């Protein structure tokens, strides 16, 4: 059975990528990193725990992707460029087949972002992965949750709702029989990365957050930090064709879009005069962005469908209040 150091050198020290700002990577007591001038370093930590964020028997390649995607998404939401990541992993046993798959998912996403694994810790214990990611953002250009102003428009990237449908498929055998079930399950784990969109929103978006707990929950964070309200138009929420087929109606798909967590799409606000510039930049980048509402002075979140106010108030996801 492979020991701790064997596992580290076989699986975690094999990334070929070498960034010039990494003076010393894994192998010593600390990594030594060189921070670029006139730049702030954005840092974020996210954990993935078996049984809470993924099932123990989930495809390890997807788990590796998801662990890193959720961290990259936090950098994207700040407009930061991914650079370095460290990993604390605990494993019940040295399951090499699992590690092989996990590393395939993890490193293919890391390499595609020029993101280097610079160290970590490997221990025995219940299966869980904690990553700390570091990214660069030019001084004073980070996207915050606190900058939304009354009159700004609310946008989301990509489409929403697939992740929630995928989770239903994972948790309910009967849903496996529905159209697109396996594709939606894959999408639950394999979110698109919005790092490049986040970077091009610098100087354009007045606030930004990534959708990890569900649009309803996450826009409330922008409202609280910016001291504003918001109107959301449910009929404008972008949903995939696959989700509409799965749900049998666009309206149901859009109700998924409101509450679906772990989407890792961006929700951001844009002042009117910068909307065209955002649309153009997103188009050039090949990322869909959709206007779904506006910022108001009401201090509350109001939902509309076809311009009629809705009574329903769907809660987002909260780990301690599920
Ligand atoms: P120490 O006991 O000094 O904390 P460790 O024995 O935990 O060092 O780790 C040895 C080296 O391997 C360190 O450089 C550490 O950063 C690296 N390392 C350990 N686990 C991982 C991992 N999962 N991913 C990347 N690097 C790791
Ligand atoms: Mg250690």
Asked, for residue 91, whether it belongs to a domain, the answer is yes
CA distance linking residue 244 with residue 226, whole number of Å: 33
- Residue 159's CB is within 10 A of a number of other CB atoms, namely 22
46 and 129 co-located in one domain: yes
Residue 281: its pLDDT value, please? 98
> 145 in a domain, yes or no?
no
Contact status, residue 112 vs residue 68, Cβ threshold 8 Å: no
Percentages (nearest 5) of helix, strand, coil residues in the chain: 40, 25, 35
Q: What are the helix (H) ranges across the chain?
A: 4-7, 60-78, 96-112, 162-171, 181-189, 195-200, 215-226, 241-247, 250-259, 275-285
Question: Residue 32 is part of a domain; what is its CATH number?
Answer: 3.30.1330.10
- Considering the domain boundaries, does residue 314 fall inside one? no
If asked whether residues 218 and 167 sit together in one domain, one would say yes
Closest residue by Cα to residue 235 from 251, 257, 218, 214: 251
CB atoms within 10 A of CB 227: 12
From the list 91, 54, 55, the residue with the least C-alpha distance to 70 is 54
Q: How far is the CA of 14 from the centre of ligand 1 (A)?
A: 13
Q: For residue 25, give the ligand 1 atom closest to its CA.
A: 14
Ligand 2 center to residue 121 CA distance, Å? 5
Ligand in closest contact with the CA of 122? 1
- The two tokens of residue 37 are 């001038």
Q: How far is CA 314 from the centre of its chain?
A: 21
Are residues 17 and 53 part of one domain? yes
Q: Does residue 201 contact residue 292 with C-beta atoms inside 8 Å?
A: no
Q: 50 CA to middle of ligand 2, Å?
A: 22
Binding site annotation covers 121? yes
Residues with CB under 6 A from ligand 1: 8, 12, 26-29, 87, 89, 117, 119-122
**Residue 241 belongs to some domain of the structure:** yes
Distance in Å from the first CA to the final CA of the chain: 39
Q: Whose CA is nearest to atom 24 of ligand 1?
A: 120
306 in helix, strand or coil?
A: coil
Residues 109 and 18 in one domain: yes
Residue 174 DSSP label:
G
Check whether residue 131 and residue 173 sit in a common domain: no
Rounded distance, CA 43 to CA 109, Å?
18
- Residue 157 and residue 114 share a domain: no
- 297 a known binding residue? no
Asked whether residue 29 is marked as a ligand-binding residue, the answer is: yes
315 located within any domain = no
Q: Is 210 annotated as a binding residue?
A: yes
Q: Are 133 and 75 in contact (CB under 8 A)?
A: yes
Dist. CA 84 → ligand 2 center (Å): 18
**Residue pair 187/256 in contact by the 8 Å Cβ criterion:** no
Q: Which of 4, 7, 26, 71 to mutate to test the pocket of ligand 1 (most atoms within 8 A of CB)?
A: 26
Which of ligand 1's atoms lies nearest the C-alpha of 122?
Answer: 20
Q: For residue 146, is it within any domain?
A: no
pLDDT in tens, the chain (322 residues): 578 889 999 999 989 888 999 999 999 999 999 999 999 999 999 999 999 999 999 999 999 999 999 999 999 999 999 999 999 999 999 999 999 999 999 999 999 999 999 999 999 999 999 999 999 999 999 999 999 999 999 999 999 999 999 999 999 999 999 999 999 999 999 999 999 999 999 999 999 999 999 999 999 999 999 999 999 999 999 999 999 999 999 999 999 999 999 999 999 999 999 999 999 999 999 999 999 999 999 989 999 999 999 975 545 555 555 4
Q: Which domain holds residue 171?
A: 153-309
d(CA 42, CA 173): 40
**pLDDT value for 189:** 96
Instruction: Report which bound ligand comes closest to the CA of 88.
Output: 1
Q: Among 103, 138, 173, where does a domain finish? A: 138
CATH number, position 288: 3.90.650.10
Helices and strands in the chain: count of H runs, count of E runs: 10, 13
Unique residue bearing structure tokens 């102003």? 149
Q: Cα(231) to centroid of ligand 2, in Å? A: 48
**Number of domains observed in the structure of the chain:** 2
Domain identity same for 187 and 119: no
In a domain, 209, yes or no: yes
């Amino acid at each position: 059975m492979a020991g701790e150091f064997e596992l580290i050198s076989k699986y975690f020290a094999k990334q070929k990528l070498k960034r010039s700002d990494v003076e010393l990577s894994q192998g010593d007591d600390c990594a030594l990193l060189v921070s670029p001038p006139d730049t702030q370093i954005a840092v974020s930590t996210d954990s993935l725990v078996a049984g809470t964020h993924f099932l123990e028997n989930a495809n390890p390649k997807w788990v590796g992707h998801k662990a890193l995607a959720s961290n990259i998404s936090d950098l994207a939401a700040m407009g930061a460029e991914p650079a370095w990541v460290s990993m604390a992993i605990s494993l019940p046993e040295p399951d090499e087949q699992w590690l092989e798959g996990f590393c395939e998912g993890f490193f293919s996403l890391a390499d595609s972002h020029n993101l280097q694994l610079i160290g970590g810790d490997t221990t025995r214990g219940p299966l869980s992965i904690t990553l700390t990611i570091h990214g660069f953002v030019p001084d004073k250009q980070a996207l915050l949750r606190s900058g939304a102003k009354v009159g700004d428009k609310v946008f989301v990237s990509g489409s929403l709702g697939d992740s929630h449908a995928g989770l239903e498929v994972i948790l309910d055998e009967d849903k496996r029989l529905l159209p697109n079930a396996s594709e939606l399950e894959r999408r639950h784990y394999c979110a698109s990365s919005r790092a490049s969109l986040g970077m091009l929103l610098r100087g354009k978006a007045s606030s930004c957050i990534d959708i990890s707990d569900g649009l309803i929950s996450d826009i409330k964070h922008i409202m609280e930090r910016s001291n504003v309200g918001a109107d959301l138009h449910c009929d404008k929420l972008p949903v995939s064709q696959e989700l509409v087929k799965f749900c049998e109606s666009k309206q149901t798909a859009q109700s998924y879009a409101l509450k679906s967590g772990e989407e890792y799409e961006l929700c951001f606000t844009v002042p009117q005069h910068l909307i065209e510039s955002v649309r153009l930049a997103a188009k050039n980048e090949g990322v869909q962005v959709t206007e779904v509402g506006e910022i108001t002075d009401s201090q509350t979140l109001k939902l509309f469908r076809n311009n009629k106010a809705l009574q329903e108030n769907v809660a987002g996801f909260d780990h301690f209040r599920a």
